[in-house]
Amino acid sequence: MLQRKKQLKIAEEKKMKVEKAKVIEVKVNMWIEERTAKEQESRKANWRLEKTKKQLEAEEKRGVQEKAKENYGEWRSKKKAAKEMKEKKEKEEQRAEEEAERRRKEEAEDAYLKWKEEAKTRPFPLATQFGFPQGSVKGYHDKASYAIPSYYNPVPWMPIHTPKYHTKPVA
């Protein structure tokens, strides 16, 4: 009987050990499941956070690109308007220059025609003066006489003043 009690006790202890091992195994499995669930939740949260960060960065980048595109459009339209204004101004200046040139030529032509008409009525120089028989130069009475000048300069020739250099004697 003692042996039987010992065997029962050993069997009972084995049974308890097996049950304890099962309980421990169940607890370990539960702990592992909880830990993997927490890790998965943590990974999902990190993934969501990264995704939102990327979305914010992409949105910010899109906003910057749109603003840059808008600024470029404004700059381009300003440049185009400035270029058109410059071309318009240049055309206007060219038109004004052409008009001034045309007027100048007309005035010159009118002045020439007026001079030509007045030249017909202007008296000729006397043909009886010596050296101009019948209005052309033929010769001179002597070498000391000159022909009547056809142009008289109202401002007489003035020599250019050049200062004299003062030299100091070398001692």
Check residues 38 and 131 and name the one with the higher pLDDT. 38
- Residue 156 pLDDT more than 60? yes
pLDDT of 48: 95
Average pLDDT over residues 134-139: 55
Residue 99 has pLDDT above 80, yes or no: yes
Give yes or no for residue 171 having a pLDDT over 70.
no
Q: Determine the distance from the C-alpha atom of residue 151 to the mean position of all C-alpha atoms in its chain, rounded to a whole number.
A: 59
CB distance 139 to 128 below 8 Å: no
User: Is the residue at 110 inside a domain?
Assistant: no
pTM: 0.39
Shortest CA distance to 130 belongs to which of 140, 120, 122, 116? 140
In a domain, 78, yes or no: yes
Nearest to 129 by CA among 143, 142, 140: 140
Specify if 143 maps to a domain.
no
In a domain, 23, yes or no: yes
How many domains is the chain built from?
Answer: 1
Residue 101 lies in a domain: yes
Residue 157 per-residue DSSP state: -
The domain in which residue 101 lies consists of 2-105
Convert the pLDDT of each residue in 27-46 to its tens digit: 999 999 999 999 999 999 99
Q: What percent of the chain has pLDDT over 70?
A: 81
Tell me what the mean pLDDT of segment 117-130 comes to: 68
Structure tokens at 85: 């204004």
**Percent of the chain, pLDDT > 90?**
54
Amino acid at 18: V
